[in-house]
């Protein structure tokens, strides 16, 4: 049999039972569509999380006190007998490849101006905070480059705080009370919105030295470092550890490069996506059972035809291939339909729910198609073997 | 046709095409089993989290310093400090409330513990005598921290089981001295093994008196106050009392956050229930696919059984009866598939339960009802078209043609 005949024969037998072909392909299509849709949502979520993190820059390293972690955050950030100090942060500026080293302490307090007050998150930072996390100042400037141990009383407001306290007025140079102390507004940050549950616009930034005093603590919560983007990460980490170990006598701090954090998030999200897709793929398996059922029926119906084919010289292998080909084509049609269905639902979702990130990588689309054909072939093996092993004489006589 | 006849007729058909029936049972079974297993995984995770939260104590109200006016952030992520601390006196004053049974102020931090030549960095908890009753933990040896004024401390400590064995090995632990940070403590008790609880391992902590922790970490401020209400009904009153008492003590400022265990639990419960429902739904898509297979097979059956249907109609069977025969067949197959699926799903659930004995896997009742029900409904729905086709066959044509 020539290849062209082979294809024509397969297509003809599929066309002969249009409804049957349609329903069988539909089974596969539903499976593929759900797999495509779920991977799209998973991949979209993955990208969303990575974008949330990398908006602060990719070459960031966090150093926090203590080496024990619970709930993903170092416990040492709360209380520790081995504090990280502002002097540590200053010393880290001299570590190799380090561009910016900025101490941070976080708290919660009241901001007051005129008759209005608001409870907000207070960040005690150095002068380089906006540079380290690539955050922009909308008006005025970020905190001035004072000695972080004895800074002047300037504050920078988050955009929401500025709006709530000042309305349309210009806040620059106006005194405000932060946690009961007087500060002068040096600038207002650009709006950043919610980032992973934290509202960065509802914040006030004050110099870290004063924040430590205000909260009556000696340890920083963390130190943000940025390094030259081309520098080898291992050496950067090594340099940080060397300096801090020299200052503290032992390794009583945790160094977390942002890239490592991203990797962890990536692994977790991939695992979840995989699990959900596996559940979705059950439909694909059931679709495969559908192909198996239909081909089994087809072999029984077409016994005479198979007998005839065999008696005019078609080999067993040829018959096997014919049925396998039919199964594969059925599955492939279903796969393409499912792909289109999944993609269009994904697009609809994107229009209907813009907050839900959706992204379909082409690799997955191709993979899904390959999986569909594979499912078809596996489902086709049993009936095709059954057809190939029919005895031509018996088959013809049965009719 | 009587019901018995109807059933027998359908039963014969189901038995007559064994391979076909088997394959449909397989498809339905996979779908039902998937729903059962997946939803029991979700339900297991939910029960696990709920139990873990329950084991933190009963009727708990948690007080944390600081308050933010922005919603959205999870309660409990506030780890920063505030200009006005929660002090020991704040905690003690809460006992004024008639709704409150016990109060356990907490300070938490990290310290290095030295015993002899061994040293470890561990979480250190500053607590009072009532802590053990509030958290419902058990002692393995010795006593918990002594009663008395929490503003003054004795140099004693209680160790987690794992920490005790790592520091002292098999030696007698009680009465030994150790050093945490720059202060010396005598071990007066060892906690019973409890294991991980919500990511926090109580086997590795050292518990010291509150005042000692204040000195050790050089801080006045409490990390949390755990408050136990007298009963479940008293929780809202306890919460209101806590807010009012602290407000009065803090010069009229509302600068604390009060969360109830029930509220946190309800949030988790809702999220995990929704997740279980979602994954169960995804698994249920496969039941839809199984329905498509049933429709396909039934359509073929109508063609193959033309003569039989024609004969039935010629003998006086109405279209209604023919339809009923097909539906009975579909329901029989769906029931069979559902039974197979439920059994396989239960077996799968038990197998997973063997691998993770800690997590109480159990299919929720709604899944056990919804899965077979969905199977039956989809198969009936997908039989509508083939049954109609069969019912509309003209008996003369059906018998005449071939």
- B118 vs A245, which has greater pLDDT? A245
With respect to residue A76, please indicate whether it lies within any of the assigned structural domains: no
Q: Are residues A140 and A14 in the same domain?
A: no
pLDDT digits 0-9 by tens, A315-328: 888 888 888 988 99
Q: pTM higher than 0.80 for the full model?
A: no
Q: Are residues A105 and A140 in the same domain?
A: yes
User: Per the CB < 8 Å rule, is A293 touching B23?
Assistant: yes
With respect to residue A236, please indicate whether it lies within any of the assigned structural domains: yes
Chain A residues with CB-CB distance to B66 below 8 A: 107-109, 119
Chain A residues with CB-CB distance to B217 below 8 A: 79-81
* Distance in angstroms (rounded) separating the CA atoms of residues B212 and B225: 17
- For chain A, the domain total comes to 2
Token duo for residue B307: 């003569």
Average pLDDT, chain A: 85
Token duo for residue A293: 């059922």
Structural domain boundaries enclosing A142: 83-251
With respect to residue A87, please indicate whether it lies within any of the assigned structural domains: yes
With respect to residue A16, please indicate whether it lies within any of the assigned structural domains: yes
Can you give the pLDDT at residue A77?
63
Out of A172-176, A194-198, A345-349, B54-58, pick the least confident. Answer: A194-198
Q: Are residues A117 and A139 in the same domain?
A: yes
Can you give the pLDDT at residue B72?
39
Q: Are residues A293 and A388 in the same domain?
A: yes
Can you give the pLDDT at residue B75?
40
* Distance in angstroms (rounded) separating the CA atoms of residues A185 and A131: 19
With respect to residue A64, please indicate whether it lies within any of the assigned structural domains: no
- Is A20 in contact with B385 (CB distance < 8 Å)? no
Q: Are residues A214 and A92 in the same domain?
A: yes
Domain boundary among A251, A277, A298: A251
Residues 11-50, chain B: which have Cβ within 8 Å of A?
19-20, 23-24, 26-27, 30-31, 34, 38
User: Per the CB < 8 Å rule, is B293 touching A180?
Assistant: no
Predicted confidence band at A242 (pLDDT cuts at 50, 70, 90)?
A: very high
Residue A192's φ and ψ, nearest 5 degrees, are: -120, -20
With respect to residue A360, please indicate whether it lies within any of the assigned structural domains: yes
pLDDT digits 0-9 by tens, A106-140: 888 888 888 888 888 888 998 888 888 888 888 88
Q: Are residues A142 and A230 in the same domain?
A: yes
Q: What are the extents of the domains in chain B?
A: 3-52+267-400, 105-225
User: Per the CB < 8 Å rule, is A293 touching B221?
Assistant: no
Q: Are residues A90 and A190 in the same domain?
A: yes
Q: Are residues A297 and A168 in the same domain?
A: no
Q: Are residues A268 and A247 in the same domain?
A: no
With respect to residue A88, please indicate whether it lies within any of the assigned structural domains: yes
Mean pLDDT over A44-63 rounds to 83
* pLDDT per residue of chain B (402 residues) written in tens, 0 to 9: 677 888 888 888 878 888 888 888 899 999 999 988 888 888 888 888 888 777 777 788 888 887 765 443 444 444 556 667 788 888 989 988 899 999 999 888 888 888 888 888 888 889 999 888 888 888 888 889 988 888 888 899 999 888 888 888 888 889 989 999 888 999 999 988 876 655 567 788 899 999 999 888 888 888 889 899 988 888 889 999 999 998 888 887 778 888 888 887 888 888 888 888 888 888 888 888 988 998 888 888 888 888 888 888 888 888 888 888 888 888 988 999 999 999 999 898 888 888 888 778 888 888 888 888 988 998 899 999 889 888 888 888 888 765
pLDDT digits 0-9 by tens, A73-107: 556 666 777 788 899 999 998 888 898 899 988 88
Q: Are residues A104 and A31 in the same domain?
A: no
Kindly indicate whether the ipTM for this predicted assembly is greater than 0.90, answering yes or no: no
Q: Are residues A22 and A98 in the same domain?
A: no
- A304 vs A81, which has greater pLDDT? A304
Instruction: Give chain B's largest Cα–Cα span.
Output: 104
With respect to residue A69, please indicate whether it lies within any of the assigned structural domains: no
User: Per the CB < 8 Å rule, is A283 touching B110?
Assistant: no
Q: Is the pLDDT of residue A337 over 90?
A: yes
User: Per the CB < 8 Å rule, is A30 touching B67?
Assistant: no
Q: Are residues A103 and A244 in the same domain?
A: yes
């Amino acid at each position: 049999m020539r290849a062209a005949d082979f294809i024509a024969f397969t297509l003809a037998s599929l066309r002969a039972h249009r409804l049957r072909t349609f329903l069988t392909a539909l089974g596969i299509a539903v499976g593929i569509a759900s797999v495509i849709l779920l991977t799209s949502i998973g991949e979209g979520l993955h990208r969303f999380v990575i974008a949330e993190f990398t908006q602060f820059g990719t070459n960031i390293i966090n150093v926090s006190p203590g080496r024990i972690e619970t709930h993903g955050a170092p416990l040492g950030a709360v209380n520790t007998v081995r504090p990280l100090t502002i002097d540590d942060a200053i010393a880290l500026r001299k570590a190799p490849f380090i561009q910016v080293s900025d101490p941070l302490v976080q708290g919660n307090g009241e901001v007051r101006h005129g008759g209005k007050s608001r409870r907000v998150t207070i960040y005690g930072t150095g002068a380089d905070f906006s540079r380290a996390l690539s955050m922009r100042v909308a008006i005025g400037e970020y905190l001035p480059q004072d000695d972080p141990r004895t800074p002047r009383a300037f504050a920078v407001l988050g955009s929401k705080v500025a709006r709530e306290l000042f309305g349309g007025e210009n806040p620059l140079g106006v005194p405000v009370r932060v946690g009961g102390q007087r500060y002068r507004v040096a600038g207002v940050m650009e709006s950043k919105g919610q980032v992973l549950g934290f509202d960065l616009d509802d914040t006030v930034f004050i110099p870290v030295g004063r924040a430590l005093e205000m909260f009556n603590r000696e340890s920083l919560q963390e130190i943000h470092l940025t390094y030259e983007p081309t520098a080898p990460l291992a050496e950067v980490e090594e340099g940080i550890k060397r300096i801090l170990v020299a200052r503290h006598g032992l390794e009583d701090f945790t160094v977390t490069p942002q890239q490592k954090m991203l990797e962890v998030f990536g692994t977790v999200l991939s695992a979840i996506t995989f699990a959900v897709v596996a559940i979705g793929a059950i439909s694909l398996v059931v679709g495969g059972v559908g192909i198996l059922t239909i081909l089994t029926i087809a072999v029984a119906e077409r016994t005479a035809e198979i007998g005839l084919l065999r008696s005019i010289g078609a080999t067993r292998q040829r018959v096997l291939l014919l049925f396998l080909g039919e199964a594969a084509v059925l599955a492939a049609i279903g796969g393409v339909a499912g792909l289109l269905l999944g993609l269009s639902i994904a697009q609809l979702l994107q229009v209907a729910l813009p907050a839900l990130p959706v992204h379909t990588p082409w690799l997955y689309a191709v993979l899904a198609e390959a999986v569909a054909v594979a499912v078809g072939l596996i489902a086709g093996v049993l009936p095709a073997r059954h057809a190939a092993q029919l005895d031509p004489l018996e088959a013809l006589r049965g009719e | 046709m009587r019901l018995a006849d109807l059933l027998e007729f359908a039963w014969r058909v189901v038995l007559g095409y064994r391979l076909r029936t088997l394959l449909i049972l397989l498809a339905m079974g996979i779908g039902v089993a998937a729903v059962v297993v997946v939803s029991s995984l979700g339900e297991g995770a939910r029960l696990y989290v709920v139990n873990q939260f329950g084991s933190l104590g009963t009727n708990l109200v948690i007080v944390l310093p600081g308050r933010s006016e922005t919603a959205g952030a999870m309660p409990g992520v506030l780890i920063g400090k505030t200009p006005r601390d929660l002090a020991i006196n704040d905690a003690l004053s809460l006992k004024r409330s008639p709704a409150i049974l016990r109060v356990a102020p907490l300070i938490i931090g990290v310290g290095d513990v030295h015993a002899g030549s061994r040293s470890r960095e561990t979480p250190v908890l500053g607590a009072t005598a009532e802590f053990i009753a509030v958290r419902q933990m058990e002692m393995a040896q010795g006593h918990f921290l002594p009663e008395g004024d929490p503003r003054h401390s004795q140099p004693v400590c209680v160790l987690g089981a794992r920490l005790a064995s790592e520091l002292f090995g098999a030696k007698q632990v009680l009465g030994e001295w150790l050093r945490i940070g720059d202060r010396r403590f005598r071990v007066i008790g060892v906690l019973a093994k409890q294991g991980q609880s919500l990511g926090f391992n109580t086997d590795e902590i050292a518990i010291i008196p509150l005042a000692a922790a204040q000195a050790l970490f050089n801080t006045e401020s409490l990390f949390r106050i755990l408050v136990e209400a007298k009963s479940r009904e008293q929780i809202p009153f306890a919460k209101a009392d806590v807010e009012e008492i602290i407000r009065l003590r803090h010069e009229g400022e509302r600068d604390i956050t009060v969360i109830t265990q029930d509220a946190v639990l309800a949030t988790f419960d809702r999220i995990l229930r929704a997740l279980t429902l979602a994954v169960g739904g995804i698994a249920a898509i496969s039941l839809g696919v199984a329905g498509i297979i049933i429709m396909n097979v039934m359509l073929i059956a109508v063609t193959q059984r033309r003569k039989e249907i024609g004969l039935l109609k010629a003998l006086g069977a109405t279209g209604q009866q023919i339809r009923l025969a097909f539906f009975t067949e579909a329901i029989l197959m769906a029931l069979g598939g559902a039974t197979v699926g439920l059994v396989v799903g239960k077996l799968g659930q038990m197998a997973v339960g063997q691998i993770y004995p800690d997590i109480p896997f159990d299919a929720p009742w709604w899944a056990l009802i919804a899965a077979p029900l969905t199977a039956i409904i989809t198969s009936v729905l997908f039989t509508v078209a083939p049954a109609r086709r069969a019912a509309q066959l003209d008996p003369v044509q059906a018998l005449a043609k071939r």
